Amino acid sequence: MKSERTFQGQIQVYTGEGKGKTTCALGLGLRAVGQGLKVYVIQFLKGRKTGESQAATRLSPEFSLLSFGRPGVGKLRSPSPETLQFVKEAWNLGRRVITAGKHDLVILDEINLVLASGLLPLAEVLEVLRERPLHVEVVLTGRKAPPELLELADLVTEMRPVKHYLQAGVRARAGIEY
């Protein structure tokens, strides 16, 4: 049963060099589903099977997730045609999902790095965010969020590294890091 939206959607940005941006956004998505809202996650530059992609199938249709990319980020300074195509497909889907207004929360995972690398026109993304249906909440994650996006956002959280066990040689673990 869907909760009635009684508030206006906001724009949230999770950025910075620290770990946890995607995890934070996914936690918000889980909370939203728990309250009867519909969530759509679009992952830029990610292509491997992850815990969140597997969980999304269990939470469907309230929680949808699509990833665009290959395993490993690749070179963003000189991206391959394949990477550019993945970015274009991800953004086309993101734009459609946001403007359609059928989802209460839309998460654009790793789009900040895409924007900072110039792989998408920032002005176009900002326009879609400004023109979105009023009830749609949008979360944008990734390092190097552009200043114009930070200015438009209603909430900005910067993750900064203080200490992480990966620095001590602990390998990424299924279910925890991915």
How many structural domains does the chain have?
1
| Residue 48 within any structural domain of the chain | yes
Q: What is the pLDDT of residues 32-65, one digit of tens each?
A: 999 999 999 999 998 778 889 999 999 999 999 9
The answer, yes or no, to whether residue 76 has pLDDT greater than 80, is no
- The H-or-E segment that residue 40 falls in is strand 39-44
d(CA 150, CA 118): 16
Tokens standing for residue 129: 């965010």
| Residue 4 within any structural domain of the chain | no
| Residue 83 within any structural domain of the chain | yes
Question: What mean pLDDT is predicted for residues 23-28?
Answer: 97
| Residue 150 within any structural domain of the chain | yes
Domain of residue 97, CATH code: 3.40.50.300
Domain limits for position 125: 11-168
| Mean pLDDT score of the chain | 93
- Collapsing DSSP to helix, strand or coil, 140 comes out as strand
Q: What is the pTM of this model?
A: 0.93
Q: What is the pLDDT of residues 107-131, one digit of tens each?
A: 999 999 999 999 999 999 999 999 9
pLDDT of residue 39: 98
| Residue 108 within any structural domain of the chain | yes
Tokens standing for residue 163: 């200490």
User: Which is it for the CA torsion 7, 8, 9, 12, positive or negative?
Assistant: negative
Question: What mean pLDDT is predicted for residues 79-95?
Answer: 95
Residue 156: pLDDT band (50, 70, 90) is very high
| Residue 139 within any structural domain of the chain | yes
| Region label for 145, one of left (φ > 0), alpha (ψ between -120 and 50) or beta (otherwise) | beta
Residue 4: pLDDT band (50, 70, 90) is low
Per mean pLDDT, which range of 50-54, 64-68, 72-76 is the poorest? 72-76
Long-range contacts of 160-168 (CB under 8 A, 24+ apart): 160/16, 160/17, 160/18, 161/17, 161/18, 161/19, 162/18, 164/18, 164/19, 166/19
The answer, yes or no, to whether residue 71 has pLDDT greater than 70, is no
Q: What DSSP string describes 73-114?
A: ---SSS--HHHHHHHHHHHHHHHHHHHH---SEEEEETHHHH
| Residue 1 within any structural domain of the chain | no
| Residue 177 within any structural domain of the chain | no
Residue 3: pLDDT band (50, 70, 90) is low
High-pLDDT (> 70) share of the chain, %:
94
Residue 171: pLDDT band (50, 70, 90) is very high
pLDDT of residue 1: 45
